[in-house]
Structure 1
């Protein structure tokens, strides 16, 4: 994907385009809304990746992103998104869900609907959700530095090439076999790149491999292992998720799991008995020497104390400890005892080292010359340490090469394994949302909307306790009803269903039919009368609504609160007339529904959320709006209740006035 194409995405400038271009396939990542891959670009966070992905999707579907045409509409979307994100396990899924947004584009809606229809089939079992807890996007490995091997060459050009190809190891210039031999004394393995050194005979692990730079990962298997070690827990969690979900990944999960089982967090290979034994021998070497000396000296001390010689044993011991002729005394009087003591030291030392193939060298750590106290030969011990270390490092390197060979070809498949698990979390979030709120997919057909059995998850009550609502509107309608009867929550339900439907997601209803709107304008209830400037601004906003030929859904909650009731009725009537002539669907909640209908020059439907009475001071309400019905007010209900219960003449007269003031019901 060229810079110019990347920069065509809204919000992607030159610097961001350069960063995205470093991805292997930025076009595929942007087309799929692949937040994890986009976030791998340098300097791109997960949140930024989600915004870029969303912008790229809009660009692909020629979506101008203006569907949410008011602050309250945007708040509804934020609430819907939050409900989805609460059902995601991973941080990735939370960000990925941000790429779902309400769109006017039919192709985008259908794209998400296809995804969501498959997603709702997923079964979010507790075991699967628990396994997802450990899945995260893969991290790049930490820098690797290898100190137990080097690469050697006598050619300056090859030297520079090697430094670039394998920066993890030391690259050395040598002139001849002596230089190689010097390196072999300091490194466990020396890899010579010059064919001219073939047949070289030097002590140590020296390999002449002229083509080694063609496969740098074989020289430095730690490069492969560092990636898998860094991501070991994430990969194993992803493997568990895929097993539980029954997916069929390209990766051989069993082979991957077995290889990861052998890896330690630092990238070393565990579980090899020989390496463990060599490690233990190296770590215990100084203590083993000290213990062996103790065994020999304790034994020799006892022999000296108990020996019956020309002088008393205790006197002899005193002389010996002062260093007076110890070698000659031991040789003349205690030769057998000294030999036995040294043999005991050797056995102790060899036994502690525990490696049969190093027995001969270990035994030489205690010499034949009689001394007291018995002491080890430090040169032998250091040589033993060097050989044990070189042996361990060579074997560890071989094991690393073996495990890296198993893993090297699996890197892309392993990354796909994690991405599959992360995407599954996105699907499960949609599935959990649909299950938690008894959702169904809406049909897009006709004009306006028709919702059956809709229940809003935004209400501050348990979802199971929410009363279902049936409501539909074609054209424009006024919605009347008592205070706290559910008018605003009905608007919220309609807005939420439309937002979710145009995100391509299922909606909380038994069934729903929607027009594919080009914009949602939701005017929330204003707190208090507006000043002149704010009032003018609000009217200008409605002026823009009736302009053009966009198919809008307009939801308005008690617009009359912006100014005096008399003026409000006239203003709302005029707006409704203009909306009736446009290609819009509108629902206006108002306590002035009767007055507005009287002031309107066209037929306007008045629907009512009907209060059916009072019980123990609590309003009893039928939450589904009744079509073509002006709902009674709360004061009227209270007067009616008093008239029925008390029979007082005042209450009857008041009730008659309410009836007289009512506009005639629409036919």
Structure 2
């Protein structure tokens, strides 16, 4: 796919998309999570890109929502769906659903929605979804204990690019390689000519390392799983609750995650823990060992019967008097025992093995002296050995576990994506259940609604009166004030929008004809001045040119100017729409004047008030076909005529 051909995608965004493994498929599916994995593309931006890609694939020009009010109806419908998504991803993914004129796109979503409506949004699934988010890449990884070495400048640049987490060193000769072997726990050499070289340290010649870099930086994989632990476990819980089987083995995943700490390190290995503790506690162990040895010597000196009193001898020693010869002659055995106790303490407290214990021999010993002191150079050497052993052990375990987790990488990504997509399906299911929706039939012209109820009203949905209404062609809708004419238009607009999105509609049944553009004009907030009035007329002039396949909904257009002129203007617009074969519903209180001015027989439907009860209208919300509804003033005059003897009200009533 040519990315720059997608509306709104420039060269920079196209370059980001090109870094995805399968960008074409992600765009085709509208996979917001996958698209958002591209560098510098947010979920919101990903949703817009996916929407544009889908439009392009299906040849949709995006012109279905032709007016501001039509777009508001779509936004309201989208909002109702997004309110039922648990995840942020679900909210963004739902933005890729839009009303389309293209049958292929409508059928694609209808198939999705039909499956989604069968989903049961159980509370346990929704609770589990609360912790699911798209997986994040591991970033900011830096490894200091291992390095890459090469003699070639070009390979140096390649290594820096392929393995940015590791230090890369340029070497000229074997001697430098030996120095690296002493400085790093492991050195990976890219040059084959060093094969078989014998140098100090863990030096490995791996000429093909750049072909599979992830094997040399297991931290990439481990950090990815560590950083995404909660998201992975939440996605696994979703599948458990839903009873679905993801591509990955969830038990294996959980077991592997138990072996990774929050920083991506290995846990649960006794040898690694032993070495780590030894490195961390070495200084403290040596210091305590000194105290143990010196306590022994102090006790021995204090108890010895030598030429001077033991206590005086001890005082002299502590004042720095040279006592090497005295210690050698009088306390050699006690000194050796003190050294042995100190060494034993270090070995035991750090749980050192036989090879490591040999280094301790050099930490304490030498010519007898008091106080007993450690050899810092020997301690440093022991620390270096323990650290190298720890790092090599960690790298070995990390490499093994990372190899195991790499096999799970693609399956767990699919598992998380499936959980996120399930949230989208459940949002559609919840929408359908909350508003008693059905899948509409797309056929014929105009629309036919049975038992439709609008969720856009400011009353609980269960209290909304159902509406039956159908129109084919051009129709005037009359009715009393506050009788539900505007809410009927909103219901029609909502059902038409949802039907062309491929989604279920809030009705017991519905048939919607294919609409090329939805033109919905809301009620004007007062008479327009001359300039605004001219602009409005121009808009309707453009509307009636080539209006085939359009659905036009207009709410009280007469409010834009004087009633007499309004009736003539509306009549002219209706004539043009009728000639074009368009479907239209115009709400108006000027039905008589419009019919008189029109050059054809205008259909008039009415929302009839059935009476006044305690000053409130009682209305049959379903418009009656071919019926001019009585106005509110007429109903009030009729009520007064029935309640009084006055002939005034009867005379007024006859004028209606």
Are the aligned partners of 1:297 and 1:374 in contact in 2 as well (CA < 8 Å)?
Answer: yes
Map of 1:546 onto structure 2:
544
| Runs of 5+ consecutive residues of structure 2 not aligned to the other structure | none
Work out which of the residue numbers 265, 269, 289 in structure 2 matches 1:268.
Answer: 265
User: For residues 526-565 of structure 1, what are the structure 2 equivalents within 5 Å?
Assistant: 526-565=524-563
User: For residues 422-501 of structure 1, what are the structure 2 equivalents within 5 Å?
Assistant: 422-501=420-499
Are the aligned partners of 2:637 and 2:652 in contact in 1 as well (CA < 8 Å)?
Answer: no
**Structure-2 change in CA distance of 1:25 and 1:192 (3 Å):** closer
Are the aligned partners of 1:349 and 1:363 in contact in 2 as well (CA < 8 Å)?
Answer: no
Map of 2:25 onto structure 1:
28
Map of 1:350 onto structure 2:
347
- CA shift, 1:471, in A, is 1.3
The answer on 1:661 being equivalent to 2:633 is no
- CA shift, 1:52, in A, is 2.3
Work out which of the residue numbers 101, 116, 119 in structure 2 matches 1:119.
Answer: 116
Give the whole-Å Cα distance in 2 for the aligned partners of 1:546 and 1:124.
45
- CA shift, 1:116, in A, is 0.8
- CA shift, 1:474, in A, is 1.7
Are the aligned partners of 1:138 and 1:415 in contact in 2 as well (CA < 8 Å)?
Answer: yes
The answer on 1:131 being equivalent to 2:128 is yes
Give the whole-Å Cα distance in 1 for the aligned partners of 2:602 and 2:614.
36
Give the whole-Å Cα distance in 2 for the aligned partners of 1:137 and 1:11.
24
| Runs of 5+ consecutive residues of structure 1 not aligned to the other structure | 663-667
Are the aligned partners of 2:148 and 2:166 in contact in 1 as well (CA < 8 Å)?
Answer: yes
Cα distance per residue 1:182-237 (max 9 Å; x no partner): 22211111234455544444443233445444433323323333433343333333
**Structure-2 change in CA distance of 1:643 and 1:139 (3 Å):** same
Cα distance per residue 1:44-91 (max 9 Å; x no partner): 332232222222222222222111111111110111111111112222
Work out which of the residue numbers 253, 264, 269 in structure 2 matches 1:256.
Answer: 253
**Structure-2 change in CA distance of 1:213 and 1:273 (3 Å):** same
Work out which of the residue numbers 87, 104, 107 in structure 2 matches 1:107.
Answer: 104
Give the whole-Å Cα distance in 2 for the aligned partners of 1:54 and 1:354.
62
Cα distance per residue 1:278-308 (max 9 Å; x no partner): 1111111111111122222233333433444
Give the whole-Å Cα distance in 2 for the aligned partners of 1:213 and 1:599.
82
What is the number of equivalent residue pairs in this alignment?
655
Map of 2:326 onto structure 1:
329
- CA shift, 1:599, in A, is 3.5
- CA shift, 1:254, in A, is 3.1
Cα distance per residue 1:396-426 (max 9 Å; x no partner): 1101110121122433333322222222222
Give the whole-Å Cα distance in 2 for the aligned partners of 1:6 and 1:202.
52
Give the whole-Å Cα distance in 1 for the aligned partners of 2:578 and 2:56.
33
Give the whole-Å Cα distance in 2 for the aligned partners of 1:160 and 1:532.
71
- CA shift, 1:632, in A, is 2.5
The answer on 1:514 being equivalent to 2:508 is no
Give the whole-Å Cα distance in 2 for the aligned partners of 1:132 and 1:200.
55
**Structure-2 change in CA distance of 1:120 and 1:366 (3 Å):** same
**Structure-2 change in CA distance of 1:499 and 1:347 (3 Å):** same
Work out which of the residue numbers 46, 66, 71 in structure 2 matches 1:69.
Answer: 66
User: For residues 376-415 of structure 1, what are the structure 2 equivalents within 5 Å?
Assistant: 376-415=374-413
Map of 2:43 onto structure 1:
46
Are the aligned partners of 1:141 and 1:226 in contact in 2 as well (CA < 8 Å)?
Answer: yes
**Structure-2 change in CA distance of 1:301 and 1:618 (3 Å):** farther
Give the whole-Å Cα distance in 2 for the aligned partners of 1:48 and 1:394.
44
Greater CA deviation, 500-509 or 320-329? 320-329
Cα distance per residue 1:493-520 (max 9 Å; x no partner): 1110111111110001111111111111
Greater CA deviation, 164-173 or 530-539? 164-173
**Structure-2 change in CA distance of 1:636 and 1:578 (3 Å):** same
Give the whole-Å Cα distance in 1 for the aligned partners of 2:32 and 2:521.
33
Cα distance per residue 1:434-459 (max 9 Å; x no partner): 11111111111222111111111111
- CA shift, 1:606, in A, is 2.2
Give the whole-Å Cα distance in 2 for the aligned partners of 1:65 and 1:180.
63
Give the whole-Å Cα distance in 1 for the aligned partners of 2:14 and 2:152.
41
**Structure-2 change in CA distance of 1:239 and 1:340 (3 Å):** same
Greater CA deviation, 180-189 or 491-500? 180-189
Work out which of the residue numbers 94, 102, 109 in structure 2 matches 1:97.
Answer: 94
**Structure-2 change in CA distance of 1:529 and 1:159 (3 Å):** closer
The 3-state SS of whatever aligns with 1:401 is: helix
Greater CA deviation, 256-265 or 438-447? 256-265
Greater CA deviation, 452-461 or 177-186? 177-186
Cα distance per residue 1:111-136 (max 9 Å; x no partner): 11111111112222222222222322
Are the aligned partners of 1:339 and 1:368 in contact in 2 as well (CA < 8 Å)?
Answer: no
Map of 1:282 onto structure 2:
279
Give the whole-Å Cα distance in 1 for the aligned partners of 2:42 and 2:191.
45
Give the whole-Å Cα distance in 1 for the aligned partners of 2:212 and 2:38.
26
The 3-state SS of whatever aligns with 2:65 is: coil
Map of 2:586 onto structure 1:
588
**Structure-2 change in CA distance of 1:621 and 1:16 (3 Å):** same
The 3-state SS of whatever aligns with 2:367 is: coil
The 3-state SS of whatever aligns with 2:204 is: strand
- CA shift, 1:571, in A, is 2.1
**Structure-2 change in CA distance of 1:7 and 1:180 (3 Å):** closer
Give the whole-Å Cα distance in 2 for the aligned partners of 1:306 and 1:13.
89
Give the whole-Å Cα distance in 1 for the aligned partners of 2:211 and 2:557.
75
Give the whole-Å Cα distance in 1 for the aligned partners of 2:586 and 2:418.
46
Greater CA deviation, 439-448 or 471-480? 471-480
**Structure-2 change in CA distance of 1:200 and 1:103 (3 Å):** closer
Cα distance per residue 1:235-273 (max 9 Å; x no partner): 333333333334443333333333233223333222222
Are the aligned partners of 2:149 and 2:170 in contact in 1 as well (CA < 8 Å)?
Answer: yes
- TM-score, normalised to structure 1, is 0.92
Map of 1:240 onto structure 2:
237
Give the whole-Å Cα distance in 2 for the aligned partners of 1:164 and 1:83.
47
Give the whole-Å Cα distance in 1 for the aligned partners of 2:371 and 2:99.
88
The 3-state SS of whatever aligns with 2:265 is: coil
Give the alignment's Cα RMSD to 1 decimal. Answer: 2.5
- TM-score, normalised to structure 2, is 0.93
User: For residues 9-28 of structure 1, what are the structure 2 equivalents within 5 Å?
Assistant: 9-28=6-25
Cα distance per residue 1:625-664 (max 9 Å; x no partner): 222322232233333334444x2415xx324423x234xx
Are the aligned partners of 1:350 and 1:363 in contact in 2 as well (CA < 8 Å)?
Answer: no
Are the aligned partners of 1:447 and 1:474 in contact in 2 as well (CA < 8 Å)?
Answer: yes
Give the whole-Å Cα distance in 2 for the aligned partners of 1:58 and 1:279.
57
